[in-house]
Structure formats: C-alpha cells, structure tokens
Structure 1
Amino acid sequence: MWKIDRQILRTITILVLISIIMSGCHNSKPKEQDLLRLKSTGGAQPKKVIYVLVDSLMPQAIDRGIRAKELPTLQYLTEHGQYYKNLVSSFPTMSVSIDSTLLTGKYPVDHRVPGLTWYSAKDKKVINYGTGPIEIVQQGVNRVLNDAIIHLNQDHLSNGVTTIHEDLTQRGLKSGSVNGLIYRGARDHTLSLPGWIHIPSSLPKEIHVKGPDFLTLGSLSNPLEGLTSLPEGLTDKLGFNNDYAIEVVKYLVRSRKLPDFLFVYLPDLDQKLHKNGPSASKGLKAMDRQLDSLLQSFGSREQALKEAVIIVAGDSGMTAIRPSDQHPEIDLPDLFGDARVLSPGETGSKEKDILFAVNETMAYVYSLKGEASLKNAAALLQADPRIDFVAWSTRDRIHVSQGGTSKQLSYKAGGTLRDPYRQSWTLEGDAEVLDLRVNKEHQTLDYDEYPDVLMRLSSALHSHEGDYLIVTAKPGYELTDKSSPKHEGGGGHGSIRKAESLVPLIIGGTDRRPQSLRVVDLKYYLLDLLSKDLQNNGIK
C-alpha cells in the first residue's frame, strides 16, 4: 500500500514497477571504494556509535510489546540503557524533514526541506519526493525522480548547514549511512540506475553525489556487491527494506569495518502502521527480531553494548485515521469550492488562486495572488470543525486560528516568557489555541498537546519562500487533494500534536545523557559522544 511517510524509498520502487514493462535492460555498476575509506588510520579507536532510526516507532507500542513479552530485544535495551518516551520530533512530522533536522541539528527554517511535498516559488512547481503513484504520474516521473534522487540532498538541503557526516569528516572521523533519506557528506559516490529507470526517464545511467565514507541506497548504491548477498531485487523493493539494512550492518560488524558513526534507516514498520493503524504489532515484532540479529553479530547482546553505543529511535508517531464510513478525508479542493486550484504537475501561474501541498495530516496552502487571498482561505479553513488550526506569518508575528471556533493567538520570538528550551516569547490572544501553560508570576510557559510548538511552527512557516498557510487536521482526520494517498482505517502523521510528535529514544552502551530531548538537539549529543570518546582514548 502506498502511503506518505515511506517517502523517497518507496517512490523509487513503484517507479521501477511501472517502468519495467518498458524495458528489460540491465547495467553494470562501478565498484565503490567505501570499504577502503573505512580502513583504520591506526592508534586508539573511539567506541562506535550506531543510530538505528525506525520509521514510526512509538513508545506506547514498545511498552505494550514489553508487557506482553513480545519484544525481548527492545526490553533488553531499555533495561540495560536509557529509555526516553518523549523525544520531540521536527515539524512537519514527515521523515524527509525530520531526518534533515536530525542530521543537521537545525529546524526547517535553516535546512530548507519543508516536508515531503511543498511548493517552490523559485521553480514555480510543487516539489514531491514521492507521496503516491497517482501524484507521480500527474507530476511526471522525470520530475519526481529528479527531486527525490538528485535535488533533495544536493540542492534542496541548504548548503548553509552541515550534516553530521560533513562534520565528522572535518574531525577526522569516519561515518556511514545505510539507506538514509538524507545522506549528504564530503565523499564522492555514484548512484547507478537500472536501465528500466533511466531509459524511460531523462535521468543519466550514473549520478554522482556527495555522501559519507560509506553509503548504501538500496540497489542504487551497494558497496557490498560481490561480498555478501543482500535482498535488493524487485520483490525486495530494490533493497529499501529492513533486512537489507540489517544485513549491511552485520557485515560491517563481522568484518570489523564499522565506521565511527553509522546511521541506519529501517522503513518497514511505517508501512504496516499506515495500513493497519498505530495499534498494529506484527511489524514491531519483526523489527525486534532484526535488532536482535544485529546485536548478536557482535557475539552477544552484552558484547554489542561493550563495543558500541547502540541508539534506537523513532522519527514520528502516528494517529488512527477513521474508517471510510466515517468520512475521515478533508478534501481541500472540495472545501474551496469555486476557487481555481492548481493541479499536480501544473506549473504555477498567477491565473490560479490556490494550490495545496498535502503532508497527510498537515498541509501547506499557497495563494498565487497574495495576502488577500490567503486571508479568505484562512477564514474558510478555520470555520471547519475538522480542522485543528490554521497558521500564517506576517512581518514579525505568527498568527494561529483554532478550527471550528473564533479563538486566535499571535506570538513572536523574544520577550519575557521563557519555555523549557530556554527560548523566549511574546504572546497575544488565547493561549488555549496551542494548549500553552502560561505562568505569569514566574514568566514561564510550558507545552502539553503541542510540544515545542512555538519554535516548530514558526520554523515551518519560514522554511521556504512564498505566501502560504499551514493547516492541520484534528485526530482521526487527514487532509487530501486530487491525488494524495488516503489511509482510511489506518494511521497517519504530519501534524504537530504530541501523538505524532513524541517518539522513543533508547540509548545503550553509554551513561552519557542528552541534555535536551529534541531531535533537533541530538546531532550535538552525537558529536559530543564521539569527541569525548576520542579524548578518552588519547586522540586529539
């Protein structure tokens, strides 16, 4: 089943399945030099760090599985390490944007990847990294492939920020990425496209990219080809699956080739939760067995934590979408009635009033006719009781209107109110709109239903150029347009509520604790972890 938050990886797979009818060509791949780059430079070595990102892993599911004695590996890690249940994700809660935040240590206002789909005012087109087959066909295979494979890491991810891979290279350390959506680094790599992709498209057979010392991207970049067998065929989603990623890590462990930092992306759980809802447990059990296989490659679970820091984390949570008979879709084009709406794949034009970039339970709403049109759009959206809130920015303020009510809030950075992250704010209006807990006596504010909402919402509203609103759906509903995927009776994410924003973080193999439980702050924790290990081993 197609759904939004599997993103780029599943896009490539569906394109192959569509295009294979057109060609049966194969191609040989250039031999990558990744393993040679991982060769030790000698001397004492820091403890390795393996960061396993499990798409849509949720703490509630972990706790249920441990109570039912169905997750022995996760139970071992939580009992022999640190277990946090409230790591605050980025916003929108879509993997491509979250991963950009994790690996750069910046919110979208700085890294400039606003979501899985967004509108580029510069290029006058909707950027879609792969939400579903209908949108791919409507927007064009070439356009989606170019954005997903080439432009995301090389152009859209801002050059004004550095990834952890780039930072580690500067520090003389080695890093790797196993199927990560965001992988930009300092080393040269070649992605090799099968004939059935590059022949019917305009993409070249080989694409040169920058990545970490070690890079896998399914069958498009497999530096272990000829060394070990990996599940990377058409039925294996071209290697974009958990088994592929786990087998790569196991090979690196057993051959003593682990880089200092290894990022590992496991996508399979997300697919099952989108289809069956956030309470489904089958996918989590399979992932637990795969994690055990990874730990056992060190010789035992205990040995794994002696030799490496093992981190297992989620990226976003998920809320249940109502079944089809309860009509959970908020059809944005239908809501706007007679307004002229830009169709997917259509170039932006002043002749069109409105266009949408739907990120499942969140959407960007753009006006090509400026501020007046946006005000009308905001009023229309606010009147719908299924809408959670509508937000937009003016010169120095963020404005938020609660769906189905007349309640409004505006705020700006700076002022006398301090939040738990040492950020200061000035508020006007009804704090209940964003469920803010304001203590006027102590001049503090705290968050509940919308974690770190003031910074995360402001960041998304300044993440790219143009005039636009942010709209989110209430729990149980999802936003749709003419071709976006639907998840009736399943699960969805994208919004900023805590069910979709708070994810688990499990850290084994070190007593050092992160100072802040936000995804945006983890890069600095990881760099500090590696740097202190270097110092403790006498490496300057």
Structure 2
Amino acid sequence: MPYLIIITILVIAAMIFFIKGIKPNYQSLDQKQITQTEKPVIMLIIDSLMYKPLIEAEKNGHIPALQFLMEQGQLYPNVVSSYPTMSVTIDSTLLTGTYSDKHRVPGLVWYDEKEKRLINYGSAKEEVFKLGIKHVAEDTFYHLNHTHLSYDTKTVHETLAMKGLQSASVNALVYRGYEKRTLNLPKIGSTLNIAPKNLRVETPVFFSYGMLAQYSPNNDQNNGPLGRFGFNDKFSAQELKYIIQNDKLPAFTIAYFPELDKEVHKKGPENHIDAIERMDKQLQEILNAYPSWEEALNSAIWIIMGDSGQAEVGNDKSKSLIRLNKMLDQYTIYKVNKPVKDNDQIVLGHNERMAFIYILDEHITPEEVVKKLQEDERIGFLAWKDEFDVLVAASGHNNIFTFRPNGHFVDQYGQSWEIKGDPSILDLSINDNVIEFRTYPDALQRLNSALHSHSGNYIIADAKPGFEFQGEGTPIHPGGAAHGSLHEQDSLIPIIVTGTEKQPIHMRMVDLYQWILDLTVKQ
C-alpha cells in the first residue's frame, strides 16, 4: 500500500512517454567492497504473512521452500508487531529498535501540527490525489527517512556502518543509512510539478528500490507498469539473487516482498493460500542461487517474517465501515483536498482499522468527542492522554482505565506501570501486581508510545475485528481484510529462523533490532 505514490508517479510518466520513456536506474556491484562475516543475515519481510494461513499452506504441500526452512529451523508463531500496525511504523520500529515515541513515524497517515498538514505516505489513490501528488511524493521519497524518522534513533544500517559492516536494503520503504546517493525520478514528474527531479538520499551501501535503483539486468522483465515498476516479489527475489551470485552479500540484508498484502486485503485473512504458494516460488529462486538449499542454510542466517496480521472486514459496507466524519458531523472537519483552515475543528488521520482524531479547537475536549464515539459498539476502544496519564474508554464500560509508565504493576516484558480503573477495557488480567496481555499484546507500551509519537491534541480510535474506518478516499476492504489495530489479529506475526539458536530477548518487533546486531556484530 505505501508504494502507491511511487507507482502513481511512474504510471503518469509512463503514460506520457508511451511506457518506453522511463528507463531503470542501473547500479553496479563491481566497486562495492564488503567486510566478510562468517554468516551474513538475510531477512525477508513478507507483507501480511500470518501463522494460520502459513501452516495451512504447509499442509497442502505446495510451499517447499518455506517448509524446508521451517523444518531446518525454528518457527515463532506470535511475535508482537508495532502500533499502529501499518508498514512504515512497523518498519521504523524494526530498523531502530524503538516504538514511535522514539522513532517519530506515527502511522501511514498522520497530522503534522507544526506544518499544519496531513502527512500521507500513500494510502489510496483518491486520497493521494486530493492531498496533492507532490506533497505525498516528497513525504514518501524524502521526508519519511530524512525528516520524520528521528535522527536521535540510529537504524540498523547506520549502526552496522559505524562498526565497519555493510548492509543492504531491497525494496524497503524505510532504509536510512550513511551512503549518500542521488535518486533520480522521471523528469516528467518535475515538469508537471508532481515530484522533484532528483533527491539526495542516505542509504545502506547496497540499495535497491524498484526501477529507481536496480542492480540486476535480468530484472528488466519485472520493472514495467504491469510489475508495479519493480515493487513486486519477483523483482525483490531477483535483486537478492543477483547480489548472492556476485558474492556481494553484506553482513545484513533486508528484502521486502509486498504482494501477499494485496491478496489478503482482497480475499481475507484465511483465503489466500495460493498467494503464499506464489511467494514460495520466489523464495525457491533465492535458495537456488546456491549449489543446494542445504548450502544456502550453511552460508547464511535466514529470517523470514511477516510485518502485521490482518482482521476480517464484513461485506456489508453500512455496518463494517466506520465513518467518523458522519459521527462527528457537528464539528467542522478538515477536507483533505484543501489546506487546513482556521475554522477547522477536527482532522482525521485514517490508518485502516485505527484512526487519529486531532482536535484543533481548544474549546473542544477529548472527553466530549470520546463520549460521542463511545456509543458505537464497533469501536474497540478510544484512548487519549492528559498531562500525566493515558486514558482509555470503550463502549459498554461506564468507567475509564488510566495508566502511566513506572509504577507498581509489571508486565511480561519487565515494563512497570501505574494503573487505575477498569482494566477489562483493554482485556488485561492482573494477578499479584502482574499484568497479562490477552486481546491486545503489549497493549500499554504500544498504546503509550502511539500517544506520545508526535505533538498535538489527539484521540486514538481502534476498531474491533470485522470493521475498519473510512474517510475521504481512504482504502476500504469490505469482504476482505485490513490492519492497523492494536488487536491480536492485526498484531501477531510468524518468524522463521535458521542458522542460529540465538533468540530476541522478547518476541516483539521492537526487540529484533538488538537481536540483528547480536547476530552480525558478535560473530
């Protein structure tokens, strides 16, 4: 989904030049020097890979590569993702080892209080066109990595570089490193004033980004408009295969495979086994770059993982789609096709099954907005913060739940909290001052971080399974599935690991950063 803005610009350029006017930006591996490590780490991110469909596909016997890796390694079924469960925030957490209160990428869509505009990294074409392609392009191509992703947090690429080790990023949207390079965009984009002509970006030593930064000449068949200009599984697989075959595999490589996500959105969380089978064929291609699959496992540490789950969205649009703008129609709500006006009272930032509700009018309190929305049983909970606490309310609960860090209650991750009120709102079990998470994994830390991820007076609305939020031109998935929520269906992902017995300190996305460093630096 976030690749939409890149594809939109390239499509426009391709149409003007009758498809043939856009040429790939080829790069050479010849001048790239690497520091050899005993076992390079290869991490493959399969967007929206979930445990139950993975196991079902294995039973069918049609995913030999994934099955081989599972049999030869370990499968961890319930790793907790970041929040909101949207790719850019998840990837930022993975690469920095922090939640959004530190890395500062709040979601796919969020409101920048200082610039007084809605930030969108490419949610749906209708919303992109309304906000303006140029704004969305600049946010996606440049600001995401070089303005919004905090420099107070170092990415794994930056940390490895400081230790004299190289890394690679293949088709990942979040990639910041120390290598300075120019990313050339189609000239027609700057001519039409929809995108800059080029950008100076900071990347890992090895950087592949669709046809905008391509290594393998064999990928020309995968970088056209039908192949989303290189932002597809075949392209990612061929780029990684090319790096392996040229003996240029650095200490750490992350490669992104986006296609499964689209199928899950369309078909639902359980009816996409065929898409997992297609993904497996690309994994077979990668493993075949070695003399044998056994040699592939002996030569590298392999990590294959999802980034978020997805929850079902009901077929009946009148029930399954939560329209906050109608529920809050007594207020003046910002229209996404216009600049924010002085009399706008509310800005809505939709992230599929989660939404930020920004209150611009100082005369409106979070409590009065929450009271209106609390009547809707489709919303799992509503959360906001005051000077000291996070406050949480939900339909069917008369009382609220409040919490703050550093208290007398401890959760399974060793994090301590002070809590008051009704913990059942977040389905917490508390025994002898020990907090157990159930429906919402790592709920307190993830929710606390989201409410401290950026400035502003805002509420978080989180939908129950079966429902998602709909705004002006936002993507909707009736009869399919969506993510974004704190709920376990959106939050739990599988990870397959071969070549090491080391484990993260906890099975959470936020803990994988240090684990990657332990696997690469301390060999």
TM superposition score normalised by structure 1? 0.93
Residues 1:269 and 2:260 are matched in the alignment: yes
Number of residues paired by the alignment? 521
Specify the code of the residue in structure 2 equivalent to 1:238: F
Deviations 1:299-333 (A, max 9, x none): 22111110000100110000110003663100111
Secondary structure (helix, strand or coil) at the match of 1:504 reads: strand
Residues 1:108 and 2:100 are matched in the alignment: yes
| 8 Å contact from structure 1 (residues 32, 189) kept in 2 | no
* Shift in alpha-carbon separation, 1:135–1:66, aligned structure 2, 3 A: same
Residues 1:17 and 2:8 are matched in the alignment: no
Give 1:251's aligned residue: 242
Secondary structure (helix, strand or coil) at the match of 1:388 reads: strand
Secondary structure (helix, strand or coil) at the match of 1:339 reads: coil
Give 1:538's aligned residue: none
Residues 1:281 and 2:276 are matched in the alignment: no
Deviations 1:472-504 (A, max 9, x none): 111101011122111110110000011110100
Specify the code of the residue in structure 1 equivalent to 2:497: I
* Shift in alpha-carbon separation, 1:151–1:497, aligned structure 2, 3 A: same
* Shift in alpha-carbon separation, 1:393–1:190, aligned structure 2, 3 A: same
CA distance in 2: counterparts of 1:35 and 1:419, whole angstroms: 50
* Shift in alpha-carbon separation, 1:350–1:375, aligned structure 2, 3 A: farther
Residues 1:383 and 2:378 are matched in the alignment: no
Deviations 1:51-82 (A, max 9, x none): 00000000111111112222222121111101
Q: Displacement, 1:418?
A: 0.8
Matches within 5 A, 1:210-359: 210-224=202-216, 226=217, 229=220, 231-279=222-270, 280-324=272-316, 327-359=319-351
* Shift in alpha-carbon separation, 1:337–1:372, aligned structure 2, 3 A: closer
Per mean C-alpha deviation after superposition, the further-off stretch among 316-325 and 447-456 is 316-325
Q: Displacement, 1:137?
A: 1.1
Residues 1:522 and 2:516 are matched in the alignment: no
| 8 Å contact from structure 1 (residues 29, 192) kept in 2 | no
CA distance in 1: counterparts of 2:242 and 2:212, whole angstroms: 18
Give 1:536's aligned residue: none
Secondary structure (helix, strand or coil) at the match of 1:464 reads: coil
Secondary structure (helix, strand or coil) at the match of 2:436 reads: strand
| 8 Å contact from structure 2 (residues 34, 250) kept in 1 | no
Secondary structure (helix, strand or coil) at the match of 1:372 reads: coil
Secondary structure (helix, strand or coil) at the match of 1:90 reads: coil
Ranges of 4+ aligned residues in structure 1 off by more than 3 Å: 18-35, 226-230
* Shift in alpha-carbon separation, 1:228–1:391, aligned structure 2, 3 A: closer
Percentage of matched positions with identical amino acids: 37
Give 2:491's aligned residue: 501
* Shift in alpha-carbon separation, 1:479–1:31, aligned structure 2, 3 A: closer
CA distance in 2: counterparts of 1:34 and 1:265, whole angstroms: 20
CA distance in 1: counterparts of 2:89 and 2:343, whole angstroms: 30
Specify the code of the residue in structure 2 equivalent to 1:319: A
Secondary structure (helix, strand or coil) at the match of 1:198 reads: helix
Specify the code of the residue in structure 2 equivalent to 1:265: Y
Q: Displacement, 1:31?
A: 5.8
| 8 Å contact from structure 1 (residues 230, 239) kept in 2 | no
Give 2:357's aligned residue: 365
Q: Which runs of 5+ in 2 are unaligned?
A: none
Give 1:488's aligned residue: 478
Give 1:471's aligned residue: 461
CA distance in 2: counterparts of 1:370 and 1:52, whole angstroms: 46
| 8 Å contact from structure 2 (residues 215, 239) kept in 1 | no
Per mean C-alpha deviation after superposition, the further-off stretch among 521-530 and 325-334 is 325-334
| 8 Å contact from structure 1 (residues 10, 237) kept in 2 | no
Secondary structure (helix, strand or coil) at the match of 2:382 reads: strand
* Shift in alpha-carbon separation, 1:407–1:15, aligned structure 2, 3 A: farther
CA distance in 2: counterparts of 1:179 and 1:447, whole angstroms: 34
Q: Displacement, 1:150?
A: 1.1
CA distance in 2: counterparts of 1:371 and 1:514, whole angstroms: 46
Q: Which of 109, 133, 153 does residue 125 from structure 2 map onto?
A: 133
* Shift in alpha-carbon separation, 1:31–1:328, aligned structure 2, 3 A: closer
| 8 Å contact from structure 1 (residues 27, 195) kept in 2 | no
Q: Which of 378, 385, 390 does residue 393 from structure 1 map onto?
A: 385
Deviations 1:239-276 (A, max 9, x none): 00000000011111111111111000000000011011
Give 1:36's aligned residue: 31
* Shift in alpha-carbon separation, 1:408–1:97, aligned structure 2, 3 A: same
Matches within 5 A, 1:72-83: 72-83=64-75
Secondary structure (helix, strand or coil) at the match of 1:517 reads: coil
Matches within 5 A, 1:152-231: 152-224=144-216, 226=217, 229=220, 231=222
Q: Displacement, 1:337?
A: 2.1
Q: Which of 48, 55, 75 does residue 63 from structure 1 map onto?
A: 55
Give 1:96's aligned residue: 88
CA distance in 2: counterparts of 1:67 and 1:515, whole angstroms: 31
Q: Displacement, 1:461?
A: 0.3
Q: Displacement, 1:358?
A: 0.1
| 8 Å contact from structure 2 (residues 41, 300) kept in 1 | yes
Q: Displacement, 1:396?
A: 1.2
CA distance in 1: counterparts of 2:173 and 2:292, whole angstroms: 30
| 8 Å contact from structure 1 (residues 34, 215) kept in 2 | no
Residues 1:412 and 2:407 are matched in the alignment: no
Q: Displacement, 1:128?
A: 0.5
| 8 Å contact from structure 1 (residues 107, 520) kept in 2 | yes
| 8 Å contact from structure 1 (residues 254, 297) kept in 2 | yes
CA distance in 2: counterparts of 1:355 and 1:344, whole angstroms: 9
Taking only aligned residues, the RMSD between alpha carbons, in angstroms, comes to 1.7
* Shift in alpha-carbon separation, 1:79–1:294, aligned structure 2, 3 A: same
